[in-house]
Amino acid sequence: MSTILVSSNSERQDFQGWPTSGKVPLRLAVDISHGHITYTRLIIPLGQRTPTNPTPHPSPTNERRTDRAQNK
Protein backbone atom coordinates (compact mmCIF):
# COMPACT_ATOMS: atom_id res chain seq x y z
CA MET A 1 0.00 0.00 0.00
CA SER A 2 2.83 2.38 0.82
CA THR A 3 4.36 1.95 -2.64
CA ILE A 4 1.00 2.66 -4.29
CA LEU A 5 0.60 5.84 -2.26
CA VAL A 6 4.13 6.92 -3.13
CA SER A 7 3.59 6.33 -6.86
CA SER A 8 0.27 8.20 -6.83
CA ASN A 9 1.84 11.06 -4.87
CA SER A 10 4.76 11.28 -7.30
CA GLU A 11 2.34 11.45 -10.24
CA ARG A 12 0.29 14.12 -8.51
CA GLN A 13 3.44 16.13 -7.79
CA ASP A 14 4.33 15.96 -11.48
CA PHE A 15 0.93 17.39 -12.38
CA GLN A 16 1.24 20.08 -9.71
CA GLY A 17 4.72 20.90 -11.04
CA TRP A 18 3.13 21.77 -14.39
CA PRO A 19 -0.08 23.68 -13.52
CA THR A 20 -0.71 24.78 -17.09
CA SER A 21 -0.30 21.32 -18.58
CA GLY A 22 -2.34 19.91 -15.69
CA LYS A 23 -5.23 22.31 -16.20
CA VAL A 24 -5.31 22.18 -19.99
CA PRO A 25 -5.72 18.39 -20.34
CA LEU A 26 -8.46 18.42 -17.72
CA ARG A 27 -10.38 21.10 -19.61
CA LEU A 28 -9.71 19.37 -22.91
CA ALA A 29 -10.87 16.08 -21.42
CA VAL A 30 -14.17 17.70 -20.39
CA ASP A 31 -14.59 19.36 -23.79
CA ILE A 32 -13.62 16.17 -25.57
CA SER A 33 -16.00 14.08 -23.47
CA HIS A 34 -18.87 16.38 -24.42
CA GLY A 35 -17.52 16.76 -27.95
CA HIS A 36 -17.41 13.04 -28.58
CA ILE A 37 -21.05 12.73 -27.56
CA THR A 38 -22.11 15.52 -29.92
CA TYR A 39 -19.68 14.61 -32.71
CA THR A 40 -20.60 10.93 -32.65
CA ARG A 41 -24.29 11.84 -32.82
CA LEU A 42 -23.68 14.35 -35.61
CA ILE A 43 -21.24 12.24 -37.62
CA ILE A 44 -23.53 9.19 -37.67
CA PRO A 45 -26.60 10.94 -39.18
CA LEU A 46 -24.46 13.07 -41.51
CA GLY A 47 -22.59 9.96 -42.63
CA GLN A 48 -25.92 8.30 -43.41
CA ARG A 49 -27.35 11.36 -45.19
CA THR A 50 -24.34 12.34 -47.30
CA PRO A 51 -24.10 9.09 -49.31
CA THR A 52 -27.88 8.84 -49.85
CA ASN A 53 -28.47 12.55 -50.55
CA PRO A 54 -25.18 14.33 -51.18
CA THR A 55 -26.79 17.10 -53.24
CA PRO A 56 -29.25 18.75 -50.79
CA HIS A 57 -26.52 20.11 -48.52
CA PRO A 58 -24.22 21.68 -51.17
CA SER A 59 -26.95 22.67 -53.62
CA PRO A 60 -28.79 25.24 -51.42
CA THR A 61 -25.52 26.86 -50.36
CA ASN A 62 -24.24 26.96 -53.96
CA GLU A 63 -27.58 28.31 -55.22
CA ARG A 64 -27.62 31.01 -52.56
CA ARG A 65 -24.03 31.97 -53.37
CA THR A 66 -24.80 32.14 -57.10
CA ASP A 67 -27.93 34.20 -56.40
CA ARG A 68 -25.93 36.63 -54.29
CA ALA A 69 -23.22 36.80 -56.95
CA GLN A 70 -25.82 37.47 -59.67
CA ASN A 71 -27.54 40.11 -57.53
CA LYS A 72 -24.23 41.90 -57.06
- Please state the three-class secondary structure of 8-71 as a single string: HHHHHHHHHHCHHHHHHHHHHHHHHHHHHHHHHHHHHHHHHHHHHCCCCCHHHHHHHHHHHHHH
Mean pLDDT along residues 10-27: 48
Distance CA(25)–CA(32), nearest Å, equals: 10
Whether pLDDT at 66 is above 50? yes
Average pLDDT, the chain: 51
Q: pLDDT digit string (tens) for 30-62? A: 555 555 555 555 555 554 555 555 555 555 555
Residues 24 and 16: their CA atoms lie apart, in Å, by 12
At 63 the pLDDT is 55
16 contact partners, CB below 8 Å, separation of at least 6: 22
pLDDT of residue 57: 54
